[in-house]
Amino acid sequence: MADQAQAHAVETLALREQFDTAAQQRDAVTLGMWVFLITEVMFFGGMFLAYTIYRDIYFQVFALASSSLNAVIGAVNTAVLLCSSFTMVLAVRAAQIGHRRALVIFLILTLILGFAFLGVKAFEWNQKFQEHHVPGPTFHLDGTAEQGHAQLFFSLYFAMTGLHALHMVVGCGLLTWLLFQSLKGKFTPEYMTPVDISGLYWHFVDIVWIFLFPLLYLIDRHLGR
């Protein structure tokens, strides 16, 4: 077949048949992940908009509700996620220079830190459940008559941290897959794009949390409630 001869004889992971060179594929896949991340920015953005509006018009109640969250636990969890970004970028670096053992170790560390973050989150959510801060018929926040507005804070809290946690779970899934592929030796300095773009995804999820933490946990803490 004449056109088959012009196409690649063998399609490999690093050079799929629609691409001409491995570099083109790398560029295309990386661009694809960045474009996907824009969609994620806009996806979370809708909730950030809702949060911005309601915090602006119900400032007092939001500050009260925010102070019921444990800022220290939130800060520690933020640090955990930042550490996981550090181990992730070290994993990417290891893949870039072909250090398979280091890649595997850093992927495992990132996974552990990711699970730690999720564990702390689960603990926090459980606390909210105990304190009757989950929106619904049993909701009650002490210290304000505006229970509706207080519920709004917690609706957004659960929606935003929940969406974030969902993305973390997906991220952990990606990392697990990467781990198995690394153990099988699939990644080389010439072909480590999946590690690279998973790193981009992981860092993005971290950035979302970098904004969620101060916005949700640190409203008006100075009022010392």
Partner 1 sequence: MITAAAQERENYLNASYGLKSWLLTKDHKRIALLYLFTITLFFALGGLFATMIRIELLTPNGTLLSSETYNKMFTMHGVVMVFFFLIPSIPATLGNFFLPMMIGARDLAFPRINLLSWYLLVIGGLFGLFAMLAGGVDTGWTFYTPYSTSYSNTWVIATALGIFIAGFSSILTGLNFIVTVHRMRAPGMTWFRMPLFVWANYATALIQVLGTPVLAVTLLLVLCERVFHIGVFDPSLGGDPILFQHLFWFYSHPAVYIMVLPGMGVIAEVISVYSRKPIYGYKFVAFSSLAIAVLGFLVWGHHLFVSTQSVYAGMVFSFLSYFVAIPSAIKVFNWTATLYKGSISYATPMLYAFGFIGLFTVGGLTGLFVASLGIDVHVTDTYFVIAHFHYIMVGGTIMAYLAGMHYWWPKMTGRMYPELWARLSALVIFLGFNLTFFPQFILGYLGMPRRYHTYPPEFQVLHVLSTAGASVLAVGYLMPLIYFAWSLKYGAVAGANPWNATGLEWKTPSPPPVHNFDEIPVVTHEAYDYSTVLGEVEVG
Partner 2 sequence: MADHTEHTEHIDSIQTYGAVWILLLILTAVTTAVAFIDLGAFSVVVALCIAVIKMLLVALFFMHVRYSTRLTKLVVSGAVLWLAILITFTLADVWTRGLIGTPGR
Q: List interacting residues with partner 2 (CB under 8 A).
A: 20-21, 23-24, 26-27, 30-31, 34-35, 37-38, 41-42, 45-46, 48-49, 52-53, 56-57, 71-72, 74-75, 78-79, 82-83, 85-86, 88-90, 93, 96-97, 189, 199-200, 203-204, 206-207, 210-211, 213-215, 217-224
Binding mask 110-149 for partner 1 (x = CB under 8 A): -------------------------xx---------x-xx
* Pairwise CA distance, residues 192 & 203, whole Å: 17
* Pairwise CA distance, residues 138 & 82, whole Å: 35
Contact present, 130 and 139 (Cβ < 8 Å): no
> Which partner, partner 2, partner 1, none, binds residue 71 by CB below 5 to 8 Å per kind?
partner 2
Q: By CB under 8 A, what part of segment 142-161 binds partner 1?
A: 146, 148-149, 151-152, 155-156, 158-159
* Pairwise CA distance, residues 37 & 43, whole Å: 9
* Pairwise CA distance, residues 97 & 100, whole Å: 9
Q: Would you list the DSSP string of 63-81? A: HHHHHTS-HHHHHHHHHHH
10 binds partner 1 per the rule CB under 8 A: no
> Which partner, partner 2, partner 1, none, binds residue 52 by CB below 5 to 8 Å per kind?
partner 2
Q: By CB under 8 A, what part of segment 31-50 binds partner 1?
A: 31-32, 35-36, 38-47, 49-50
> Which partner, partner 2, partner 1, none, binds residue 88 by CB below 5 to 8 Å per kind?
partner 2
**Residue number, 107 or 215, with CB nearest to partner 1:** 215
CA-nearest of 149, 147, 148, 134 to 57 is: 149
Count CB atoms within 10 A of the CB of residue 92: 20
What are the C-alpha distances in Å from 202 to residues 35, 63, 80, 173, 195? 15, 30, 13, 11, 10
CA-nearest of 192, 154, 156, 198 to 175 is: 198
- For residue 2, the SS3 value is helix
**Residue number, 8 or 93, with CB nearest to partner 2:** 93
Q: By the criterion CB under 8 A, which residues form the site for partner 1?
A: 1-4, 6-7, 17-20, 24, 27-28, 31-32, 35-36, 38-47, 49-50, 53-54, 58, 135-136, 146, 148-149, 151-152, 155-156, 158-159, 163
